[in-house]
Structure 1
Amino acid sequence: MATTGADTSLMHAQSTINKLPLVRRLEAVGFRAWPASSVQYDGSWQVRLTAGHPSKRLNSVVPLDPSDHRDLEIRLAKAQRKFEAYGRLMVVRETPLASPQLIDLLRDRGWTRFEETIVMIADLVDLELPDMLDHLPSHDVGRYVDASLMVDGVDPAMKPALAEVVSSIKPPSGLFVIENDDAGPVATTLCVQDNDLAGVMSVAVSPQHRRKGLGAEILTSALRWARMRSAKTAWLQVGATNEPALALYTRFGFREAYRYCYWRPPEDV
């Protein structure tokens, strides 16, 4: 029997509904793994703001219920005032939990969709990993932050902001750094273990030391550490166009769970 367009739409809608519990859980652990300094709610919208750090994950409106679409224009204007008070450009983060009516409104108002990100998960129970850790995690936030800024090529003036975010993570965290005798820090990652879930955050390798296996090396240590602490599933976020990172994560058994993106208003708004 042929499949009609209506059938395809129904199957897509059913697939989206079926994965919403997973999306909700991963969003919740993601908030705890990268905590904003100010979190306010408007209905099911989470308004996340952080004065010291510019990360969009820390400064965005995140709708958390597809059925919540009341008073959209009023609530957008209210959120806009909060962002203006922080000196931030307002952005809306679209996940499968955002209402279609909100996205239609943003599109009709001329907002721009940008920066698509893939949230991936992997089973840690049966993943083949070495019995021993090549690199032990540190709990020295200052050392990790210095290394992370250096590897990412970020202005050292961002140290207080990044240190504040990392220090405010409440679940157990492993701070991993690979150092070279000559070059200093060459790779970093942060792994946050939240019950049976482990979030692998910001895997980074300095540009001049890429394609040497350092990404796989530090990711292996982070995942092994998480499994030793009884985590059963790992998750991470990666840019949809970051082909080298996607290839690395696929080798470790990561698969797509869902995607999100951001919306920003027209410049003249």
Structure 2
Amino acid sequence: MSSVPFDQNLPLVRRLEAVGFRAWPATSVQYDGSWQIRLTGGHPSKRLNCIVALDPSDCRDIGLRLEKAARKFEAHGRPILVRETPLTPPPLLDLMKGEGWERFEEVVTMTCDLGAIELPGDTLDHLPSHDVGRYVDADLLVHGSDPALKPALAEVVSGIKPPTGLFVIEEPESGPVAVALCVQDNDLAGIMSLAVRADRRQRGLGLEILTAALRWARMRGARTAWLQVVAGNEAALALYAKLGLVEAYRYAYWRKGADA
């Protein structure tokens, strides 16, 4: 698979990457030049445990810097991951390809003008909660995640500094069926962790909770919304396109192959 193209709006990419870091904060963030090394011992999320290069021209001593970073990942009990964005130096990609690293999980970052899109309905159907514990319980249930991750996920959510709306749709008998987290960072609003429980999909719940989160953000003065979705999730991509979201850029992960 070819690498992410470099003919994109790099200032926009830099800004969305920065708000993305604040919207999903890692426990430990260290810098090696412009490389950000993100590690979170208690949570396995790839975004919380990866190297992200923030300057395409920062390509000195790549091999040595990767080895140094790998030791930090090993100390945290994590495999080394590199997150490729349009800001990644081409020589870093060339080195990983040459050493047999594997590229996987391409993700599409999408944006929309909140003032231009039409949101279904005209009221705030679901008000956000500020109860982190309740939200985390619902998130783990809806995603089908290991309940043992509750303390780590609660730490991540509690660590988000910008104003955050925690959205949960519940049914009286079956409990939480959809969740979303909306982080308003000045004029940008990020939709994180949106999910519908597996047995309640194809019923419009994704659109319902996304609309509630976007309307909340717009009422608070956000002008642009952004979210990220795995490139192979055609149903979600169709939903987001229907609402008016368009692709801004893509990112992907690299891991050491069996022979690397």
What corresponds to 2:56 in structure 1?
A: 66
State how 1:1-269 maps to structure 2 within 5 Å. 15-16=7-8, 19-129=9-119, 130-269=121-260
* 2:100–2:259 contact (8 Å) kept in structure 1: no
Deviation sequence 1:203-258 (CA, Å, 0-9, x none)? 10001111111000000000000000100000000000000100111111000000
CA distance in 2 between partners of 1:153 and 1:46 (Å) = 30
Scaled by the length of structure 2, what TM-score is found? 0.96
Deviates more, 1:91-100 or 1:127-136: 127-136
Following the alignment from structure 1 to structure 2, what is the Cα–Cα distance between the partners of residues 60 and 205?
27
Report the alpha carbon displacement of residue 268 of structure 1 after superposing the two structures with TM.
Answer: 4.9
Q: In structure 1, how many angstroms separate the alpha carbons of the residues matched to 2:107 and 2:259?
A: 26
Q: Which has the larger radius of gyration?
A: 1
Partner-residue secondary structure (3-state), 1:80:
helix
Q: SS where residue 171 of structure 1 aligns? A: coil
User: 1:171 and 1:218 mapped to 2: Cα distance?
Assistant: 20
Distance 1:36 1:161 in 2: 11
- Structure 1 residue runs of 5 or longer lacking an equivalent are 1-11
TM-score by length of 1: 0.93
Alignment match, 1:4: none
Gaps of 5+ in 2: none
* Corresponding letter in the other structure for 1:234: A
Q: Which amino acid aligns with 2:250?
A: R
Of Structure 1 and Structure 2, the greater helix share is in 1
Q: CA deviation at 1:126?
A: 1.9
**Which amino acid is 1:74 matched to?**
L
Q: Identity rate of aligned residues, in percent?
A: 69
C-alpha separation in 1, matches of 2:257 and 2:145: 28
Q: SS state of the match for residue 234, structure 1?
A: strand
Distance 1:69 1:155 in 2: 38
Residues 65-108 of structure 1 show CA distances to partners (whole Å, capped at 9, x for unaligned) of 00010000110000000000001000000000000010000000
Which amino acid is 1:187 matched to? A
Residues in 1 aligned to 2:166 and 2:15: alpha-carbon distance in whole angstroms: 23
CA RMSD of aligned residues (A): 1.0
User: Contact 2:38–2:51 at 8 Å: present in 1 too?
Assistant: yes
Matching residue's letter, 2:61: D
Residues paired across the two proteins, number: 255
Letter in 1 for 2:220: R
SS in 2 for 1:220: helix
CA displacement, residues 140-165 of structure 1 (integer Å, 9 cap, x when unaligned): 00000000111111111110011000
CA contact (8 A) 2:114 2:214 kept: yes
Distance 1:62 1:155 in 2: 27
